[in-house]
């Protein structure tokens, strides 16, 4: 299986800087994988623009396009199957992945969270809220976590974590920038380890 490139879908809602760092790592031949599609709930965002500019199929999918959540989940599953997706990477995807998709891709959906889980996770803990909470708690260390996705927010098994110092004059924004820079190496490193295990 060593020559088989894992077929990845990346789910994004924003800038897609993690998507870009993973794409760059694949281009540099450090990951035996290909990004087959970028799925987003937002048609216009940095991630979708990057995908379009790099010949990656884009899929704009939101609950609003369907009359029920089940239909939405079915459409997502169909799309993933049609493209032969083997692994899903959440990279700033601001929606909950439907349970039916989690069940169909058990242990094949990965997320990156901008804090050291299990602290500072759960519903509502995203973006700047995470870093504001870390500073309010007086933490001296923050970091990022790559983890498996299950039916509960930020509660799947942890794959890899990396620490980032909290500085005395940090604002949520300066801390966010330092953590994001860390994410850009942590996510590719975690995938390299995971794919090496799966493909050996």
Beta-ladder partners of 34 = 7
Is 10 one of the binding residues for ligand GRF (CB under 6 A)? Answer: no
Please tell me which residue in 23, 60, 83, 113 is annotated as part of the active site: 113
Is 147 one of the binding residues for ligand GRF (CB under 6 A)? Answer: no
Say if CB 141 and CB 116 are below 8 A apart: yes
Sign of the CA dihedral running 145, 146, 148, 149: positive
Stretch that binds ligand GRF, among 11-19, 49-57, 164-172, 190-198 (CB under 6 A): 11-19
Residues 6+ apart with CB under 8 A from 111: 89, 90, 93, 146, 147, 148, 149, 154, 156
Which parts of 154-173 interact with ligand GRF (CB under 6 A)?
none
Q: Which of 54, 81 has the CB closer to ligand GRF?
A: 54
Spatial distance between the Cα atoms of 199 and 191, rounded to a whole number of angstroms: 12
Residue 88 tokens read as 């899903």
Clarify whether 147 is annotated catalytic.
no
Spatial distance between the Cα atoms of 62 and 67, rounded to a whole number of angstroms: 11
CB of 71 vs ligand GRF, minimal distance in Å = 26
Is 131 one of the binding residues for ligand GRF (CB under 6 A)? Answer: no
Among 8, 36, 56, 91, interactor with ligand GRF by CB under 6 A: 91
Among 11, 14, 97, 146, interactor with ligand GRF by CB under 6 A: 14
Say if CB 90 and CB 110 are below 8 A apart: yes
Q: Which residues carry out catalysis?
A: 113
- The residue ranges that bind ligand GRF (CB under 6 A) are 12, 14-18, 91-92, 112-114, 180, 183
């Amino acid at each position: 299986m060593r020559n088989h490139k894992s077929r990845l879908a990346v789910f994004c809602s924003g800038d897609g800087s993690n998507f870009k760092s993973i794409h760059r790592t694949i281009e540099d031949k450090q990951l035996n994988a290909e990004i087959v599609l970028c799925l987003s709930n937002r048609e216009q965002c940095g991630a979708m623009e990057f995908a379009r500019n790099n010949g990656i199929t884009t899929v704009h999918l939101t609950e609003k396009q369907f009359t029920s959540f089940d239909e939405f989940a079915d459409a997502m599953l169909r799309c993933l199957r049609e493209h032969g997706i083997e692994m899903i990477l959440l990279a700033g995807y601001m929606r909950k992945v439907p349970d039916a998709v989690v069940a169909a891709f058990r242990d094949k959906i990965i997320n990156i969270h901008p804090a050291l889980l299990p602290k500072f996770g759960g519903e509502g803990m995203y973006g700047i809220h995470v870093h504001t909470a870390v500073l309010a708690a007086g933490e001296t260390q923050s970091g990022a976590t790559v983890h498996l996705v299950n039916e509960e927010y930020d509660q799947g098994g942890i794959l890899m974590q990396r620490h980032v110092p909290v500085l005395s004059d940090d604002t949520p924004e300066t801390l966010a920038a330092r953590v994001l820079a860390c994410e850009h190496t942590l996510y590719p490193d975690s995938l390299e380890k995971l794919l090496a295990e799966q493909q050996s």
